[in-house]
Amino acid sequence: MKAGLVQLARRLFWWKAAEEALADRDRFLAQVMTYGTWRDIADARAHFQEEAFRHALLHAPPGVFDARSWTYWHHAVGVLPILPRPRRHLPDGI
C-alpha cells in the first residue's frame, strides 16, 4: 500500500484504520472527492484512473457527497445528466 494513500486515509477516515478505509475503494474515493483538498485529489489521481472515480461516483454510499461535490464530479468524470444523490432508506415506522 502506498504511504501517501495511507496518510490520506488516516486523515479523511479518522474513525477507522487506514487499511480498512482503503479496502473499500468506492467509499475511499467518495470521501476524497468530497472532503479532499486539491492536493489530496491529485495524490489519489496518481494511484487511481478516472474510471475508478467514475465508478465511485456511480456507486457512492448515501450521505457522503454534498450537492456541490456531486455536481462537480459528474462534470469532471463525464457522467451527464447529473443523477440524484444516493439517499438513505429508513425502515417503515422510523
Question: What was the pLDDT predicted at 3?
Answer: 83
**From the CB of residue 47, how many other CB atoms can be counted at a distance below 10 Å?**
13
* Number of structural domains in the chain: 1
The answer to the question of residue 93 being in a domain is no
DSSP conformation class of 14: T
Domain that holds residue 36: 3-76
**pLDDT tens-digit series, residues 23-66:** 999 999 999 999 999 999 999 999 999 999 999 999 999 999 99
| Helix (H) and strand (E) counts in the chain | 6, 0
DSSP conformation class of 33: H
The answer to the question of residue 33 being in a domain is yes
**From the CB of residue 13, how many other CB atoms can be counted at a distance below 10 Å?**
18
End-to-end Cα, the chain, rounded Å? 41
